[in-house]
Chain A
Amino acid sequence: MKSAGVTSIATAVTSVAVPDAGAQTGPAVLGPGDVPVTLTVNGARVDLKIEPRVTLLDALRTRADLTGNKRVCDRGTCGACTMIVDGRTVYACSTLAIEVQGKQIRTVEGLSSGNTLHPVQQAFCDVDALMCGFCTPGFVVATVAVLEKHPNATREQISKGLDGNICRCGTFVRIMEAALKARGVVRG
């Protein structure tokens, strides 16, 4: 009860630190303020003017209206924002947009073609590997990544590949079922 009896007036204001660009050496400093950023998303060029601090996830969700991948924990724990960048899964909430210029970015929107679902997406639907669906895009992308790397992945490989994703409704059993079902259909 450290604070018991304390009646002093405290203030909860923190001032915003302004980086002193002149004191830095090394790479060129971008910003503060908007800078041009060009991304390649699902094969298409996306030109943005954003602050350097904007994450890949926020850039796509709030500036490019690509809202398929979700923001959930916003600090690289839950995997709802999982995208594939140059063949590797990344937490887009913890990746700056300026870092991934010139790289191939794949989001959940890029998996289906027209009304034809990707085999992983189809398997998710067939076995009901989703409930509220908020973690689903992240899980779908992570599953695609696992199966592209290991087309005939074992249960253990799938489990390890999906351990960076969290579902709150509790769809794990059927996600595993969907991933197993999609094996061999996804080309590496």
Chain B
Amino acid sequence: MAKYSWPDTPALLGTPVTRLDGPDKVTGRARYSYDINRPGMIYGRIVRSPYPHARVVSVDLTAAQKAAGVKAALVYREPGTQVMYQGDPVAAVAADTEEHARDAARLVRVRYEPLPHLANVEQAMAADAPSVFPNGNVRAGARDETGDLAAGFAAAAHTVEQTYSTHVITHVCLETHGCVCEWDGDRLTAWISTQAVVQSAQQFAQALGIPQSNVHCITQYMGGGFGSKFGPDAQGIICAKLAKQANAPVKLMLDRKEEHLDTGNRPSATAHIRAGVASDGALTAFEAESWGTGGAGAPSGFPLPYIYNFPNRKRVHRDVYINAGLQRAMRAPGHPQGCFLTEILMDELADRVKMDPVAFRIKNLPPAGPNAMWAQYFRDGAKRFGWDRRHATGDPTPGPIKTGMGVSAHRWGGAGRGSHAHVDILSDGTAVVKCGTQDIGTGTRTIVAVVAAETFGLPVSGVKVEIGDSTLPFSGGSGGSTTAASVTPAIRVTCTDALDALFAKVAPTLGVPPTDLVAEGGRIHVKGNASKSVAWKDACKLIGTEPIAVDGQWQDGLSGAGTSGVQFAEASVDIETGIVRVTRILAMQDCGLIVDKLTAESQAYGGVIAAINFALFEDRILDRVTGQMVNPNMEWYLLAGMSDVPAIDIVLNNMPERGVIGIGEPPTVSTASAIANAVRNATGATIRSLPLHPHKVLAAIEQVRAGGTN
């Protein structure tokens, strides 16, 4: 047996454990970066380009510097350079109050020479488009080809040829990006809202030209990132520079409009697809030309086709650049797009061969495996969801409210990687676990405690957790659903070694070799003889003044990679208004060994709800003439409220033998596709682009009524 492994009969792992920092968060005691108030602190404010594309002619700070309360001002974008999107940072000020900082920012006189801009993909791809980007507005992306496409289409009994697309959405982190920066000589402390506390320190150091050891980043609580918060960004560097200039701590948190414009987004995706299916329902061929925009110079890749086995396929992708904020990773980057483009097509193909969508999907799956459990989830999920009550495409019941069901599958990688940890066991029985990871709302703080407590045989409350600080042992950024799989093995390894050290101290008093000891129920006892034992606290008294102090790191064998999931959706559509309501969702999901059932389930609920937003509500809308975002707020950038949330049934498949795998991303991938397929099943009209806004639903229904094939 490997030295490091998960217990066969865990006391805590996989049970519901309430969040360690719950009480701090519900009382308002938790201090987020936004909440840090330092003595003498002043407020930073960024001046941003109102133009989607322009040359900065001059920046005059004079009036701003003379304004009430102003302590610092700087030019961020030198004259002669170009701004490439609305919201591109140009200058910044800092003043004694937020109100004064806003006033002063308005007094910064920036002269721009507006340049031709591209407000959407169509404009960028047009034959007569102005050349806005140095190496072209359109750049070749991924290209892959497998099998014999001609033979595949020759074998097809039916083909479907359509264009599918998804839209741009923004992360809408409730705590906006930003930080509080405070200098002590050439040492910087930054309370920063980030998913990567150590890397933030690294990036601050690089940008400011100081040693990384001089930067201290702190993120005890963080109000959402979803892939958009991996470093200080422009606002962090600006904040540090303003603080240096003013010789005072500066708080610079972005406002809601800035957050929409300049902190990332999920790129759009479009694909013109031709696909073939044989008369027996086997997929034969897939040919796609795809494109998408990640804004002003960022890529837009996504997997296509998604999951299903098209033996002969060809795909050519192009990245299209427009004058809009740059994309960043957003919860399962690429997958919701690739999933939607493929899964709507799958329902259309299933209809051609008159097969049930579940049976059709099962027939065309890649081989099953621990990371490819779709067939089982389709079968079990169909039963649990009542799929046998699904009618054929088009709800035959009278009246304006039509109901339907849809299904969709997804996958995600996950996987662990190097993460370090340190454990101290003190003579008073205190166990302190330290790791330079951060809790971005996923429950990392809690699962660190669960793993340590499990290892030491203590209750969760018996462990003290220190995370969210760049001076702690290295751990990576929280992204890609890798945190749980990176951090928990490091904690398990380190705690196991620390426990061995404690066993060595205790063994003589119990008269057995250390290897004969186990820790459980708050005691250390001899294997197979629970009566021969000593309480944890008494055992720790043997430690003396020099604590047990152990460093350790992630090792292979405790974490896994690759998850699969299937989701079912039921939706009702008012065919007179086009309004879609999701009524039920079933999510079948695995994530390896479940550490904390409660927080794992919350992740799944959250993923599903995020995808309902993606499917029905949110949409970054740029004015096609001015290139300005028309809804940079939270009233016209729509997000679900309590009344929009359906009944959600989460089924987590605990697979302890696979080790820990993350769950942040997978549950958000396929929900939107399942909803769109449910709308198709309800109305008989196929909507091939997200979001499913009422006008699109009505237009699709109208097209069907008019006798079109839709």
A interface with B by C-beta (< 8 Å): 1-14, 16, 51, 53-54, 58, 61-62, 65-75, 77-78, 80, 107-109, 111-112, 117, 121, 124-126, 128, 130-137, 140, 158-160, 162-176
Contacts and interface: CB of A to CB of B under 8 A. Distances in A.
Leading 10 A-B pairs by shortest Cβ distance = A68-B28, A132-B441, A170-B609, A134-B223, A170-B606, A133-B25, A67-B35, A125-B22, A73-B634, A131-B441
A16 B639 contact: no
B80 interface: no
Contacts of A11: 109-112
B642 A159 contact: yes
Contact of A133 (B30, B37, B609): B30
B224 interface: yes
A174 B113 CA distance: 51
Main secondary structure of the interface of B (DSSP, over half): loop
Contacts of B145: none
B641 A162 contact: yes
Interface stretch (B171-179, B482-490, B495-503, B565-573): B171-179
B336 interface: no
Contacts of A65: 37
Contacts of B634: 72-73, 75, 77-78, 166
A4 B31 CA distance: 47
Contact of A168 (B114, B221, B639): B639
B116 A3 contact: yes
B686 interface: no
A132 B641 CA distance: 17
Contacts of A121: 23, 26-27
B510 to A, nearest CB: 38
Q: Interface residue tally of chain B, by bracket?
A: 35 or more
22 contacts: A1-B116, A1-B130, A3-B625, A4-B117, A6-B114, A11-B111, A12-B111, A72-B256, A73-B633, A75-B635, A117-B27, A125-B26, A128-B19, A130-B25, A131-B441, A133-B25, A133-B26, A140-B26, A164-B641, A166-B174, A166-B641, A168-B639
A67 B30 CA distance: 9
A51 B101 CA distance: 14
Given A1-B116, A133-B26, A135-B174, 17 more contacts: A3-B625, A8-B113, A9-B111, A12-B49, A62-B98, A67-B32, A72-B256, A73-B635, A75-B635, A121-B27, A132-B175, A133-B30, A137-B25, A164-B641, A166-B174, A170-B607, A171-B605
B113 A7 contact: yes
B633 A77 contact: yes
A155 B607 CA distance: 23
Contact of B116 (A5, A13, A51): A5
Contacts of A158: 642
Main secondary structure of the interface of A (DSSP, over half): loop
Contact of A62 (B97, B106, B173, B226): B97
A150 to B, nearest CB: 15
A6 B641 CA distance: 43
B385 interface: no
A54 B123 CA distance: 43
A16 B224 CA distance: 34
A9 B113 CA distance: 5
B521 to A, nearest CB: 24
Contact of B643 (A80, A131, A163): A163
Interface in B322-355: none
Interface in B43-92: 49-51, 57
Contacts of B21: 133
A160 B146 CA distance: 53
B626 A2 contact: yes
Given A73-B256, A78-B634, A124-B22, A173 B605 contact: yes
B358 to A, nearest CB: 25
Contacts of A66: 28
B635 A1 contact: no
A131 B602 contact: yes
Nearest to B36: A67
A71 B605 contact: no
A92 B634 CA distance: 16
A166 to B, nearest CB: 5
A169 B224 contact: yes
Of the listed residues B21, B175, B642, the one surrounded by the most CB atoms of chain A closer than 10 A to its CB is B642
B359 interface: no
B657 interface: no
Interface string B440-453: 11110000000000
Given A62-B98, A132-B174, A162-B641, A170 B116 contact: no
B227 to A, nearest CB: 13
A168 B627 CA distance: 26
B103 interface: yes
B602 A125 contact: no
